[in-house]
Amino acid sequence: MNDPETDAELAAHADDHQHHDVSGGWLRAATFGAMDGLVTTIALIAGVGGGGADREMIVLTGLAGVVAGAFSMALGEFASVGTQNDAVDAEAALERHELTIHPRAEQAELARRYRAMGLTAPTAEAVARELHAHPDVALRVHLSQELGVSLDDRPSPWTAAVSSFAAFAVGGIVPLVTFLLGFSSLPLGLAVGGLGLLLAGAATSRFTVRTWWGAALRQLAFGALAAGATYLVGMLIGVSVG
């Protein structure tokens, strides 16, 4: 029977915090997609705007960049996450083979790892022996201890792709809002894009230990660097319209 105080603490602990997605699924893809959409479009409009393009050319270039970038991000995320999962499956197959042909050696190796973590030798050996009595559990523990991967908590390629596509599209549209509304001011469009970077950067701080203003300023600096570089290229090369 559990201690009443322990039961009460367990009940309180179940609701006092919530972990965020850190397995590389939707959060990473969405964050990367939104930031990339903002920075890419800001840089594009800065480049063609710096070269003298009119509002129509800026809108065309920006929208083409958003569509191309969203598909590129989605396909890249799908391939990347899918390949990562395939690699985990391959390592699992290798580890399963090793557990089959060298069970005692694998059990001893696991016990050594637990001793290195601070467990006493009898306890480490007992835990390893108990785990190896269940092959599927042993496989998962070995993968976690040796490779730091989990068969039960892998990101979905589809989730990563859809999150990346949607986030890039939304982020990419923000710097184009003023041009789509009929304004032709490049500084105004860049300012709106910069505001988007600040807000997106501040939002990411919710999932990290960074301060909101530190994360916001970091993203703004990245965008400013990209916009400055492409604006300079646009000024040097220029565009021909007509």
Q: What is the pLDDT of residue 137?
A: 94
Answer yes or no: are the C-beta atoms of 53 and 241 closer than 8 Å. yes
Taking only the tens place, the pLDDT of each residue in 165-197 is 999 999 999 999 999 999 999 999 999 999 999
Question: CA separation (Å) from 75 to 64, 162, 165?
Answer: 17, 9, 9
pLDDT in tens, the chain (242 residues): 457 766 566 566 555 555 555 555 577 778 888 999 999 999 999 999 999 899 999 999 999 999 999 999 999 999 999 999 999 999 999 999 999 999 999 999 999 999 999 999 999 999 999 999 999 999 999 999 988 888 888 888 999 999 999 999 999 999 999 999 999 999 999 999 999 999 998 888 877 778 989 989 999 999 999 999 999 999 898 755 44
How many C-beta neighbours within 10 Å does residue 175 have? 32
Q: Which of 61, 89, 77 is nearest to 27 (CA)?
A: 77
The answer to whether the predicted template modeling score (pTM) of the entire model surpasses 0.85 is no
d(CA 55, CA 72): 25
Angle between helix 135-147 and 121-132 (nearest 10)? 130
Cβ atoms 42, 223 nearer than 8 A: yes
Question: DSSP class of residue 155?
Answer: P
60: Cα within 13 Å, side-chain hemisphere: 7
pLDDT value at position 242?
45
